[in-house]
């Protein structure tokens, strides 16, 4: 197995040249914004309001009673992408049309995931050992169960090396979000994190859960349409101001990343999934808190390919293959929403039109998921618009 696709080691890709662990800056946990100053990011100006007859939110009511804790997303036509964000992979903005679908109102919680594990006995990727034969040269301590855990630095640091604030932590998993040395498994999971999003979820984990739940991962286009909450080309899922009325709208980072999070929004780690107001569609945590897997493979040029076709992109499913020039050889899927580690100094992926990506076998302490569902056969009789 090529090292570049080493399960669970995407953040800590082995460097055959140095014998150490190379920087894999493309990790979804906190992908830096490409810019000249260590990922520094300037919040773009609010886009000009444009009247555009192509933009439409479908008005048909939900075609059937809502499944538990799901919201009907009516579908429609919208501008997808992030103009002026300094993120080339989120350009160009292009018109996308999607059908209506059901969306989980919030990310899957730790308590929900625990029910799944109890029902199925499922063991997540982070909880499995790797076979040393497949990973020659990888230190033994990294072959046991574990995952990437964020660790603040003791002082401000240049933002060019994520390994300064990510630790490959033996024993870290959804049961032990900071690793087994922090509290007991059950206390952390059930008492403290039950209503927080489950984390340390690899793409495979999300897929298996989805099959069990009779749902599926949303496409990237579905996620972005849903995240926009009916707003046209706004910067965030809740509007164009990061903190409208000086009230925090999402769980992100305040302070100097990655040294000191002042936690002015009430949280320095994950937060309960309904801690912040829902967006216009009634969806919680569509920006901030944790990254969320989408079904699409990741390529930075996908939007350019769609835009070059000239027509409205209808229900795009992502490219046929994955390629990330920052980490060639790694298989990546799209993740959306940013996380509690995002700040305007770094990442800024709470910008609703921005994109993230993650190596499919690598979880992290800020990576979770939520699910979508097609309308049922009964509901399918209703028109989309």
Q: Is 251 in the site for Ca ion (CB under 5 A)?
A: yes
Distance of closest approach, residue 344 Cβ to Ca ion, in angstroms? 13
Q: Which is closer to Ca ion, CB of 289 or CB of 358?
A: 289
Site string for Ca ion, 338-377 (x = CB under 5 A): --x-------------------------------------
Q: Are 296 and 320 in contact (CB under 8 A)?
A: no
Work out how close the CB of 289 gets to Ca ion at its nearest, in angstroms, rounded to a whole number: 8
* Among 265, 285, 324, 359, interactor with Ca ion by CB under 5 A: 265
Site string for Ca ion, 313-342 (x = CB under 5 A): ---------------------------x--
For residue 364, the 8-state DSSP code is: B
Token digits of residue 18: 């140095």
- In the complex, what is the shortest distance from the CB of residue 126 to Ca ion, in angstroms, rounded to a whole number? 23
Answer whether 95's CB lies under 8 Å from 315's CB.
no
Q: Which stretch binds Ca ion (CB under 5 A): 95-103, 129-137, 176-184, 260-268?
A: 260-268
Residue (101 or 267) nearer to Ca ion, CB:
267
The interface mask with Ca ion, positions 202-241, x = CB under 5 A, is ----------------------------------------
**Going by C-beta distance under 8 Å and a sequence separation of 6 or more, which residues neighbour residue 37?**
none
Which residues are 57's β-sheet partners?
76
**Residue 254 three-state SS:** coil
Q: Select from 120-128, 135-143, 261-269, 301-309 the region that touches Ca ion (CB under 5 A).
A: 261-269
Residue 22's closest CA among 11, 35, 33, 31? 11
State the minimum distance, in angstroms, from the CB of residue 365 to Ca ion.
14
Size of the site for Ca ion (CB under 5 A): 4
Nearer to Ca ion, 265 or 359 (CB): 265
Tokens for 81, please give them.
């992408």
Looking at 60-68, 101-109, 183-191, 262-270, which segment touches Ca ion (CB under 5 A)?
Answer: 262-270
Task: Spell out the residues 6+ positions from residue 138 whose beta carbon is closer than 8 angstroms to its own.
Answer: 3, 6, 9, 14, 130, 132
Residue the block writes with tokens 């209703």: 382
Q: Which CB, 174 or 267, lies closer to Ca ion? A: 267
Residue 112, burial from CB neighbour count under 10 angstroms (0-12, 13-18, 19+): buried
Nearer to Ca ion, 129 or 246 (CB): 246
Position 276 contacts Ca ion (CB under 5 A): no
User: Shortest CA distance to 142 belongs to which of 333, 7, 289, 49?
Assistant: 7
The beta strand positions in 21-132, using DSSP E, are: 56-57, 70-73, 76-80, 94-98, 101-104
Q: Output 203 or 276, the one with its CB closest to Ca ion.
A: 276
Between 222 and 265, whose beta carbon lies closer to Ca ion? 265
Q: Among 274, 273, 271, 313, which residue's Cα sits nearest to residue 296?
A: 313
Closest by Cα among 90, 161, 152, 150 to 353: 90
Q: Are 333 and 298 in contact, with CB atoms under 8 Å apart?
A: yes
Q: Which is nearer to Ca ion, 293 or 340 (CB)?
A: 340
Bridge partners, 180 (sequence order): none
26 vs 251, which CB is nearer to Ca ion? 251
Q: Shortest approach of Ca ion to residue 157 CB, angstroms?
A: 20
- Check residue 267 for interaction with Ca ion (CB under 5 A): yes
Residues forming the site for Ca ion (CB under 5 A):
251, 265, 267, 340
């Amino acid at each position: 197995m090529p090292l570049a696709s080493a399960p669970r080691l995407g953040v800590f890709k082995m460097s055959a040249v140095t014998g150490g662990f190379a920087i894999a800056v493309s990790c979804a946990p906190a992908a830096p914004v490409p810019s000249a100053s260590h990922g520094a990011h300037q919040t773009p100006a609010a886009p000009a309001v444009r009247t555009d007859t192509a933009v439409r939110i479908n008005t048909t009511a939900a075609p059937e009673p809502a499944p538990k804790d799901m919201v009907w997303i009516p579908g429609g036509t919208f501008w997808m992408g992030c103009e002026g964000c300094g993120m080339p992979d989120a350009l160009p903005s292009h018109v996308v049309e999607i059908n209506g679908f059901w969306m989980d109102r919030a990310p899957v919680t730790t308590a929900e995931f625990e029910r799944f594990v109890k029902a199925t006995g499922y063991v997540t990727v982070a909880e499995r050992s790797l076979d040393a034969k497949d990973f020659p040269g990888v230190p033994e301590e990294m072959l046991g169960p574990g995952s990437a855990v964020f660790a603040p630095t003791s002082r401000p640091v240049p933002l060019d090396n994520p390994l300064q604030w990510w630790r490959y932590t033996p024993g870290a998993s959804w049961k032990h979000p900071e690793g087994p040395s922090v509290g007991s498994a059950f206390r952390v999971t059930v008492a403290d994190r039950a209503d927080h999003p489950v984390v340390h979820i690899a793409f495979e984990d999300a897929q298996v859960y989805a099959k069990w739940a009779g749902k599926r991962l949303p496409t990237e286009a579905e996620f972005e349409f849903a995240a926009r909450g009916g707003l046209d080309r706004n910067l965030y899922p809740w509007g164009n101001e990061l903190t409208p009325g000086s009230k925090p709208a999402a769980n992100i980072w305040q302070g100097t990343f990655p040294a000191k999070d002042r936690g002015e929004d009430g949280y320095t780690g994950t937060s309960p999934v309904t801690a912040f107001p829902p967006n216009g569609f009634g969806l919680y945590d569509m920006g901030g808190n944790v990254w969320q897997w989408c079904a699409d493979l990741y390529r930075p040029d996908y939007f350019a390919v769609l835009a070059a076709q000239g027509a409205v992109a209808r229900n795009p499913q992502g490219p046929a293959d994955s390629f990330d020039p920052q980490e060639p050889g790694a298989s990546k899927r799209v993740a959306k929403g940013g996380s509690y580690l995002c700040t305007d100094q770094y990442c800024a992926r709470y910008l609703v039109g921005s994109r993230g990506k993650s190596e499919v076998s690598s979880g992290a302490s800020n990576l979770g998921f939520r699910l979508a569902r097609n309308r049922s056969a009964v509901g399918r009789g209703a028109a989309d618009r």
